[in-house]
Amino acid sequence: MLTDWLHWLTSLTPTELVTILGILLFVDGSRYAYCTASMALFDLGRWCVNWLRGARSADRYAHCPTVCVLLVGHNEGDTIEESLASVWGIYPRLELIVVDDGSTDGMAETAQRFAADHAGVLVLSRPERGGKSSALNWGLSYTRAEIVVCMDTDSRFSATAIWEIVQPFADPEVGAVSASVEAWNAFHNLCTWLQAYEYRQTIFMGRQLAERLGTLAIVSGAFGAFRRELLERLGGWDVGPGEDGDITLRIRRQGYRIAAAPQARCLTNVPTTWTRLFHQRRRWDRSVVTYECRKHLDQTFFWQRHFRWANLEVFLERWFFNIYCLFGWWAYGLWLCVLFAKDVGHLATLLYLCLLAFEFVQTLLMLSYSRTSGRDLLVSAVLPFYPLYQAFLKTADAVAIVEELLFRRSKQDNFVPAKVRDVTWHW
């Protein structure tokens, strides 16, 4: 079989090879592997120059603003105590506010027991669920801290997470900071393992790169930090789903920069079944239509007062890679199958190996930045399955975008309670 494949490969003309690998070499490769490698080479060069000059590194934790961590959840009684324990006491100027969004599993009572034994913890509870955005806004009204950190109630922070995420705020032009989110249940099964690897590549590495390019436009709802006065000026969070991406675009509109704190680590539970993962990604991926194609489209109007070229770059990138290239990827694959109808198996093998090679390079780069290289090396062992996982994600992406473009499925998303969703403007 291998001999047959090698014979087929060597029989291809250069034009046929470029036809098959073009989208990988000139689109996926340029967006990920080439840019990430360039970033790593630049950082290596800077490190060498500083070492030769004998330059001393600055104090890693020089900035120490007051911080409030908002933990918003619904029926997270099983995890809220562990989440609180992971963050309490890891930073000196810290307050914790728990918002129980209409839970029925005793979440508020569990949080109150923790608060009774730990200073600086406030528990808010309401009898009916109102949705994450309104719960965040309610918690926001109870703090005067300089920095507000959002944390999911099924997540855990590393010991230095708060210190790491507040450091970029020393720059007054930074309005929000995106941290690293990792899979807490990474090795539960193949589904969670692949998500763990994906998170390290797309969040840990991808957002570092996006920050360098000035195109970072997402602060994860599981772990992100914001200037409180800026949140209040914007009126807090709008109704979701996708409120994390929405608030980030609104902050960019104000002229602030979105920074990344890759070493600020948060571990969160990820879906454990393929069905739940598919539904989650459909909900997430609708946002490119809801926000970049509808709600915030005016950020691309050059005649508007708030127009900025950096924001236009964000929108163009999202439109090109997340819509045009997504459907182009499927069309390209079908065209190749027709073109090489007699050799589809050989074609799939070649594409798989090339995708694997690109991913292997990015894995090595990710490990070079990691402070938890042992865990990340184990996470990366799932690499052989990743090209197939990417096809699964692209399927979810395509379904989500078609649903939102044609049927506005976000209007029926139960992530937001119906009583809130029905009286909210639908983009």
Comparing 192-196, 239-243, 308-312, the range with the smallest average pLDDT is: 239-243
Report the amino acid identity of residue 221: G
Tell me which fold the domain 67-273 belongs to: Spore Coat Polysaccharide Biosynthesis Protein SpsA; Chain A (3.90.550)
Report the amino acid identity of residue 399: V
The pLDDT score that the predictor gives to residue 422 is 82
With a cut of 80, say whether residue 72 has pLDDT above it. yes
With a cut of 90, say whether residue 305 has pLDDT above it. no
The pLDDT score that the predictor gives to residue 413 is 84
The pLDDT score that the predictor gives to residue 24 is 80
Beta bridge partners of 147: 67, 227
The pLDDT score that the predictor gives to residue 280 is 95
Contact 239, 65 (CB under 8 A): no
The pLDDT score that the predictor gives to residue 412 is 84
The pLDDT score that the predictor gives to residue 58 is 67
Task: Label residue 30 by pLDDT band (50, 70, 90).
Answer: low
Q: Percentage of the chain surpassing pLDDT 70?
A: 99
With a cut of 80, say whether residue 228 has pLDDT above it. yes
Spatial separation of the C-alpha atoms in residues 29 and 66, rounded to whole Å: 42
Task: Label residue 134 by pLDDT band (50, 70, 90).
Answer: very high
Spatial separation of the C-alpha atoms in residues 183 and 372, rounded to whole Å: 13
Spatial separation of the C-alpha atoms in residues 136 and 326, rounded to whole Å: 33
The pLDDT score that the predictor gives to residue 88 is 96
The predicted model gives 166-194 an average pLDDT of 97
**Per-residue buried b or exposed e for 130-149, using 16+ beta carbons within 10 Å of the residue's own CB:** bbbbbbbbbbbeebebbbbb
pTM: 0.94
The pLDDT score that the predictor gives to residue 22 is 83
**3-state SS, residue 257:** strand
Spatial separation of the C-alpha atoms in residues 364 and 280, rounded to whole Å: 29
Contact 104, 75 (CB under 8 A): yes
Q: Is the dihedral of CA 123, 129, 135, 141 positive or negative?
A: negative
The predicted model gives 284-296 an average pLDDT of 94
Residues 240-260: pLDDT tens digits?
A: 888 999 999 999 999 999 999
Strands 174-183 and 155-157: unpaired
With a cut of 90, say whether residue 236 has pLDDT above it. yes
Domain extents in the chain: 67-273, 309-421
The pLDDT score that the predictor gives to residue 360 is 93
Contact 182, 200 (CB under 8 A): yes
Burial of 388 (0-12, 13-18, 19+ CB in 10 A): exposed
Average pLDDT of the chain is: 93
**HSE on the CB side for 311, CA within 13 Å?**
24
Strands of 269-420, DSSP E: none
Q: Percentage of the chain surpassing pLDDT 90?
A: 78
The pLDDT score that the predictor gives to residue 306 is 86
Contact 123, 98 (CB under 8 A): yes
The predicted model gives 324-333 an average pLDDT of 90
**3-state SS, residue 261:** strand
